[in-house]
Amino acid sequence: MHRLIIVLGVFVCVLAAAPRAQNPQPPARAASQASAKPDEQAYRAASKIKDPQERLRALRQFLADFPKSERVTAAHSSIIDVSLDIIAQATRDVTAEIDARMATAKDERNTCLEHFFLAFNMLRRDALLDLAEQHARAALRHWDTPGTGDLPAAAGRSMARADVQGLLGQILYKLGRQDEAEPLLRQAYERSDTDFKFGLASLPYLADIALARGRETDALTYMTEMELGGTLPAARREQFRALYRQAHGGSLESLDQQLDERYAATHPKPAVTPYEPGAARTGRAVLAEAFTGAACGPCVGVDRAFDAVLDRYERGDIIVLMHHVHIPSPDPLANGATEARQKFHGVGSAPHFFIDGVEPPSGGGGTADEAATILSKEIEPSLQRDLAKRPDARLSLRVSVNGTSVRAAVTADQIKQPSSTVKLHLALVEDHVRYVGRNGVRFHSMVVRAMAGDAAGIALKGRNKVTAEQVFDLGKVSADLKAYLDDYEAHGEPPDYTFDEKKYRLDPTRLAVVVFLQDDASKHVLQAAYAPVK
């Protein structure tokens, strides 16, 4: 027995004296890690990253690299957990910044605006909608505070109570509370006439609520307003037409006519009296060039004002060219010629207009209601001034048609100051185009569709007399317009843009030719002429 104890004691001492292994892990665990699969190693490495954003990137990279790993479910769960942590922290940060921002508001008016824009930015990003509701309601309370009055906002805009109601209604809709949202949205639509246009923005929500509740007639009414306002997206157009067919015996035959009549009734042009030449009238034809965009809100007043010019004057007295440009967004009535004229005049914004090559100092934009003021104060003075000037050249224009070709024969002579910079320009215009852009203008007048030499003009080279001929092949003009729009979709701004409708087809019954002499150096227009294509 004593011998056994001694032997065991020696054995224990030998074990104690043996050198320790450098790796303290159990042999089985060490072997397991050494033999771990690449996906296991990647998942473990990603899970150990402490920075939340870096861990998210690593976990997403793991899912991309190992889509069939047994750890895919665990990775998705980890991404959710980390994302929630990030959102929670971001919400705390945002709330703290909001509190700091609200503390800077000096009075009820500024406080109301701060609440409004905070709620608007959350709605625009579809984020923190519960918090957005709180701020929208706070804006409404401040609005109703005595003495707050009409609130001027950023960028010279004005905000009405209906805008706050529309904002709150949209937020409630997105929160799934349609019963609360609908009356607010309806009030915003019925009362809003400010630049924010929350009334128009309420229409899609009202249409969806009406459809969900089986009120197809109401939905059609709302979509009709969207179509007239230029806010009906292409994705909803077939739905709109289906509702119209349902209400009109399965036919769309009367749709355009009804829309045209409704537009004419609700968008009256400024009242004008026909122009009667006085003793000061000369033989000059005045050329007005306007740069506009179908999505340009401030262009509406100028567009309406020039429509009134066309009603007031004979085409041979005042000749109008409307150049559509991609401002503020792509315009399917733009083309290479309008881009060239835009560059020639150095136009970087819209609207702009020029009378005989000169831009009036007060030229600017405005709403439809301001069209009469724009006409009387900004356009008419320049027109009357130039109508009394003697022409600086003589132009004769003859237009003939051969099949689908329009031939324009021009003679320019009696040029008072021949110069190497004077050029002859010919334009093919369409005097009435139906297209509803985002600014809600439905009819577009005197739209430039093509110009000789893509607006480069014909150089007179200092001669006092020149004859020229230009043939506009309508099939080629249409094909060129389509090619331009196709190319813009491929290479224009913003990238990957798609036009809802490409307006490249011409109405041969609505065409005219305009010719004018202009000095490229001074931009002065010497004389102009107009002839319809019969």
Do 518 and 383 share a structural domain? yes
What's the average model confidence in pLDDT over 502-525?
Answer: 96
Instruction: Using the structure block, give the residue that is written with the tokens 């009405």.
Output: 160
Q: Which pLDDT does position 5 carry in this prediction? A: 40
With CA atoms as reference, report the closest residue to 324 among 290, 282, 355.
290
Structure tokens at 339: 């881009």
Do 209 and 219 share a structural domain? no
Do 443 and 398 share a structural domain? yes
Do 205 and 311 share a structural domain? no
233/385 Cα distance (integer angstroms): 44
Residue range(s) defining the domain that contains residue 332:
286-532
Strands 433-434 and 458-459: unpaired
What's the predicted TM-score (pTM) here? Answer: 0.77
Q: Considering the domain boundaries, does residue 518 fall inside one?
A: yes
Do 336 and 455 share a structural domain? yes
Q: Considering the domain boundaries, does residue 37 fall inside one?
A: no
Please give the distance of CA 444 from its chain centroid, rounded to a whole number: 18
Do 59 and 174 share a structural domain? no
Do 238 and 180 share a structural domain? no
Query: What is the pLDDT of the chain when averaged over all its residues?
Result: 87
At residue 57, the 3 state secondary structure works out as: helix
Q: Considering the domain boundaries, does residue 131 fall inside one?
A: yes
Do 410 and 345 share a structural domain? yes
Q: Considering the domain boundaries, does residue 407 fall inside one?
A: yes
Helix spans in 175-330 (H): 178-191, 198-212, 216-229, 234-247, 255-266, 299-312
Question: 128-175 pLDDT, tens per residue?
Answer: 999 999 999 998 888 777 655 555 443 334 457 888 899 999 999 999
Looking at the chain, the whole-number percentage of residues with pLDDT higher than 70 is 89
Structure tokens at 129: 């909608």
Q: Considering the domain boundaries, does residue 40 fall inside one?
A: no
At residue 470, the 3 state secondary structure works out as: strand
Do 406 and 527 share a structural domain? yes
Structure tokens at 208: 């969806």
Residue 95: is its pLDDT beyond 70?
yes
Q: Considering the domain boundaries, does residue 8 fall inside one?
A: no
Q: Considering the domain boundaries, does residue 16 fall inside one?
A: no
Q: Considering the domain boundaries, does residue 172 fall inside one?
A: yes
Do 351 and 261 share a structural domain? no
Neighbours of 472 (CB within 10 A): 24
Q: Widest CA span of the chain, in angstroms? A: 146
Neighbours of 255 (CB within 10 A): 16
| Number of separate domains in the chain | 4
Question: 343-352 pLDDT, tens per residue?
Answer: 999 999 999 9
Instruction: Using the structure block, give the residue that is written with the tokens 């329009």.
Output: 406
Question: 354-409 pLDDT, tens per residue?
Answer: 999 999 876 678 878 889 999 999 999 999 999 999 999 999 999 999 999 999 99
Do 218 and 120 share a structural domain? no
Q: Which pLDDT does position 103 carry in this prediction? A: 83
Report the CATH number that the domain containing residue 461 is assigned in CATH: 2.60.40.10
With CA atoms as reference, report the closest residue to 233 among 487, 499, 441.
499
Report the CATH number that the domain containing residue 187 is assigned in CATH: 1.25.40
Do 260 and 118 share a structural domain? no
Please, what is the Cα angle at 58 between 55 and 59, to 5 degrees?
Answer: 85
